[in-house]
Amino acid sequence: MPPYWNLFRRHGREEFGDTDPPQAAPVHIGEHVRTGSALRSYAPLMSLRPKDLRLDTVYRREELLAQGMHRRHFASAAMRRVLPGWWVRAEADVSLRQLAAIVQSRLRPGTVISHESAAELFGFPLPRQLTYAGGAPIHCRGPANMSRTAGTLVIAHLPSREPTLTHRSLVISHPLVALQEIATRLSHVELVVCLDALAADQFGTELRMRRSQIEQFVASSQGPGAPALRQALPHLRERSWSPMETKLRLQLLGRGFPEPSLNVEVVESTTGNRFYIDLAYEDEKIAIEYDSEAHRKDVVTWQKDVNKNDVLHDAGWKVIRATIADYRKPAEFFARLEDALRRRRPSVA
């Protein structure tokens, strides 16, 4: 009986004749496969191939070898190493949370997920190079009985006495601790984006904090990252609902424009529908709307934007639309905004 029976995607009598499935088979548990020691004594009847593995599962190398996979497969393009000793099919879709759970339970029991890994798990809008999808290794702290290591897949830092919490079954650095741990690797704008997401009254990180709580933490923080947090804190706004709203607001302030209001509510009188202006100069009734790729590709989002545009025009608002191209090269966007302000507030030079 092959010990890897349940690893096959194709199984049953049509695959194995009239033989009934063996009773002792590998069992998928969370992110890995556990194989009974008794199964290791059986010689495989056929080779276990990468295409026989599940796409949502992470496997220990030694277990795959014991279940019949040839060593050559690990050097092929069909397999991908995701953790020391842990592999997946090359096209597998496994999450940071899956891998962090293996690190915490199997590779380094007692460790705390930290730095950008913790920040990503909380939902901070990080630059791509600091995310798992962007190639960042998994970061953790401790435990005290294990040494510090720095590999391409896992970086283990020295243990810390900073506060932690349990979030969706993982022990993780406190959100502000994680942010301080990576603050020196973020630009000022990127750090403000993260603080805005943490304090947002809607659409922010998975766990959010009040501004007063953030201020209390930052005031007492010390060590690397603390000065950057203190510099970013005055720019925190609780009403920012997306990274680009924060980035546009800071860009406008840097150019010398007055600070706009964020997500100003406008109610359509005939239907009672509520719309929200991304950035607004309320006295001049100038609305700045940021159009992301989702606005162009998603039909529902596009239709809402069309309706909002009509409502704003009917209510006397001047609407200025901005895209990522305007943010990267803002000269024309600034010119349109300056012109609108000049027309609606003649005293502005």
Q: Is the model's pLDDT at 167 over the cut of 60?
A: yes
| 229 in the same domain as 103 | yes
Domain encompassing residue 213: 97-235
CA atoms within 13 A on the CB side of 179: 30
Question: First vs last Cα of the chain: how many Å apart?
Answer: 84
| 177 in the same domain as 62 | no
Residue 147: per-residue pLDDT: 83
Confidence of residue 345 (pLDDT cuts 50, 70, 90): confident
Residue that terminates a domain, selected from 57, 89, 121: 89
| 257 in the same domain as 229 | no
| 310 in the same domain as 181 | no
Nearest residue to 37 (alpha-carbon basis) of 71, 3, 61: 3
Instruction: Tell me whether residue 349 is in a domain.
Output: no
Instruction: Tell me whether residue 133 is in a domain.
Output: yes
Confidence of residue 32 (pLDDT cuts 50, 70, 90): very low
Confidence of residue 24 (pLDDT cuts 50, 70, 90): very low
pTM value is 0.81
Instruction: Tell me whether residue 305 is in a domain.
Output: yes
Instruction: Tell me whether residue 122 is in a domain.
Output: yes
Instruction: Tell me whether residue 74 is in a domain.
Output: yes
Instruction: Tell me whether residue 83 is in a domain.
Output: yes
| 103 in the same domain as 78 | no
| 227 in the same domain as 109 | yes
Torsion of CA 190, 196, 202, 206, to 10 degrees: 70
| 77 in the same domain as 122 | no
Residue that terminates a domain, selected from 235, 254, 269: 235
Instruction: Tell me whether residue 270 is in a domain.
Output: yes
Confidence of residue 36 (pLDDT cuts 50, 70, 90): very low
| 200 in the same domain as 103 | yes
DSSP conformation letters of 174-211 = -HHHHHHHHGGGS-HHHHHHHHHHHH-SSS--SS---H
**Tokens 């920012």 belong to which residue?**
240
Instruction: Tell me whether residue 18 is in a domain.
Output: yes
Domain tally for the chain? 3
